[in-house]
């Protein structure tokens, strides 16, 4: 088994490292939040107090951080990964960050003599806990194959999306599409209700018809229709509104640099912002139904 350096032990990093420990690896974990390190230690992670300690002697290093600015700091600052890791160590950034930051990390890693993979994930906290995340990887073929045995302990699906930053591109576009599909589901759920349709009957019709989608089958925003929906639990987050807002913002920022107009994504981004402005950013993204029906069943009172 191998030694893994891990930076970022939040809601995703903590269960992901637990799966690596269960697979027999030694994981040296660091986070700026001491409580996060302590929680990870309960799952067998070896707690360390700096990035330098996390990467020392590591065969592979993972980072799982909230935003591009955090990833740039973790890799590029004097106390960061590139300044302290051995050049033989394979680096994987599993944060979901903007496309330009991902390309910058690849460029700076190469300049410093390192190999880096961008490897964002999809599946949320439940997927991280179950070890069924989807990894979208950007990087060289040989590096992907070297990383695969480590990733398999955390993944249900592994895709090599292409070269530098291709993993981030795939993740950003996928989540943008998810948000747009979900907006259609919440609008449809409210309109079906106003027409007097039974929500379970309508859901059964739509899921085998042209209105079908992943959020319809998984996140239908009416309690008692789908077992996996946050609506059954007062919209406690499986995928928080604030996180989806961030991801759709990454798509819009990337589209601007590429000269692409995204009217539907812009609309959903504004709808997510409306929830955040009402201090509801911590609710599940399917709470978008509140913008259509403020008294929707299942919402916290």
Catalytic residues: 171
Specify the 3-state DSSP secondary structure of 48. Answer: coil
User: CB–CB of 203/226 below 8 Å?
Assistant: yes
Q: Which helix (H) or strand (E) holds 191?
A: helix 166-194
Encoded tokens for 284: 């599940």
Compute, in degrees rounded to 10, the torsion defined by CA atoms 204, 174, 242, 271. Answer: -70
Query: Exposed, middle or buried: residue 49 (CB in 10 Å: 0-12, 13-18, 19+)?
Result: exposed
d(C-alpha 249, C-alpha 228), whole Å: 26
Closest Cα partner for 215 from 242, 192, 238?
Answer: 238
| Distance (Å) of CA 7 to CA 134, 157, 252, 271 | 20, 22, 27, 33
Rounded CA separation 105/77 (Å)? 12
Element (H, E) at 54: helix 51-55
What Rg value do the Cα atoms of the chain yield, rounded?
Answer: 20
- The separation between CA 111 and the C-alpha centre of its own chain, rounded to angstroms, equals 28
């Amino acid at each position: 088994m191998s030694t893994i350096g891990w930076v970022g032990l939040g809601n995703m990093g903590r269960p992901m490292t637990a799966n690596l420990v269960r697979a027999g690896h030694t994981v040296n974990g660091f986070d700026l939040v001491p409580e996060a390190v302590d929680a990870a230690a309960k799952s067998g992670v070896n707690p360390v107090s700096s990035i330098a300690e996390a990467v020392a002697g590591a065969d592979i290093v993972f980072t799982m951080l909230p935003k591009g600015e955090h990833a740039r700091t973790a890799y590029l600052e004097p106390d960061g990964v590139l300044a302290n890791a051995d050049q033989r160590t394979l680096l994987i950034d599993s944060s979901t960050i903007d496309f330009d930051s991902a390309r910058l990390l690849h460029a700076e890693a190469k300049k410093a003599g390192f190999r880096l993979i961008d490897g964002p994930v999809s599946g949320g906290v439940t997927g991280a806990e179950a070890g069924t995340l989807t990894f979208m990887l950007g990087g060289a073929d040989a590096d992907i194959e070297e990383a695969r045995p480590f990733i398999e302990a955390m993944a249900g699906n592994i895709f090599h999306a292409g070269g530098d930053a291709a993993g981030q591109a795939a993740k950003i576009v996928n989540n943008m599409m998810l948000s747009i599909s979900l907006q259609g589901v919440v609008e449809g759920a409210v309109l079906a209700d106003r027409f007097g349709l039974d929500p379970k009957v309508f859901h059964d019709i739509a899921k085998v018809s042209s209105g079908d989608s992943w959020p319809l089958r998984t996140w239908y925003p009416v309690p008692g229709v789908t077992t996996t929906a946050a609506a059954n639990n007062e919209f406690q987050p499986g995928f928080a509104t604030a996180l989806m807002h961030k991801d759709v913002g990454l798509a819009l920022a990337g589209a601007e640099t590429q000269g692409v107009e995204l009217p539907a994504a812009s609309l959903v981004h504004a709808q997510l912002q409306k929830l955040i402005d009402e201090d509801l950013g911590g609710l599940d993204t399917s709470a978008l139904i509140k913008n259509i029906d403020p008294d929707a069943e299942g919402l916290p009172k």
